[in-house]
Amino acid sequence: MLKEFLHPGLIDPELKATSKSEVLEELSNIIANNYKELESASIAAALSERERVDSTAIEEGIAIPHTKMSQIKELIIAVGRSSKGLNFDAHDKKPTHLFFVIIAPEGGSGEHIKVLARIAKILATKGLKEKLLDAKNAEQIYKILIEADGKLVG
């Protein structure tokens, strides 16, 4: 499932960000570089708007910022990793290390909810978070995620 929406070019294995807004900007830049119909500033603004409602940090060092945009026809996933971790307003107050941005087409069929749930399920796999944190580069992160996704049933 993830293979449809993610590729190594959408993964940053070492974010330089030190704040929530910088994470959203860096990942928005990666997406805009891969999807010419999108502008980095509008992606970051849409993600920031969603964060104002409630933090998308889901505890244990993971955040899944998400939004919908009318300019796209299919869902997009981007992944970023911060080895040091940073404050992303997680409910457990712990630093966030892994960021999974989901951008869905506006008026979509709810596919983003399925992908969001799928990512959460994948990340619940024992030892997976540690593997992602230890991965050497974007290609390794990609392989770990796609392999874990392939092992899930349903």
pTM of the full predicted structure? Answer: 0.95
Q: Which CATH superfamily is domain 2-151 in?
A: Mannitol-specific EII; Chain A (3.40.930.10)
Position 150 confidence tier, pLDDT thresholds 50, 70, 90: very high
75-134 pLDDT, tens digit per residue, is 999 999 999 999 999 999 999 999 999 999 998 768 888 898 999 999 999 999 999 999
Say whether pLDDT at 154 is over 70: no
Listed in sequence order, the residues at least 6 apart from 122 whose beta carbon sits closer than 8 Å to its beta carbon are: 2, 128, 145, 148, 149, 152
How confident is residue 22, by pLDDT bands cut at 50, 70 and 90? very high
Q: How far is CA 43 from the centre of its chain?
A: 13
Spans of all domains in the chain: 2-151
Q: Tell me what the mean pLDDT of segment 3-10 comes to.
A: 95
Instruction: Quote the pLDDT of residue 133.
Output: 97
pLDDT in tens, 24-47: 999 999 999 999 999 999 999 999
Q: Are 116 and 64 in contact (CB under 8 A)?
A: yes
Cα 35 from Cα 42, distance rounded (Å): 13
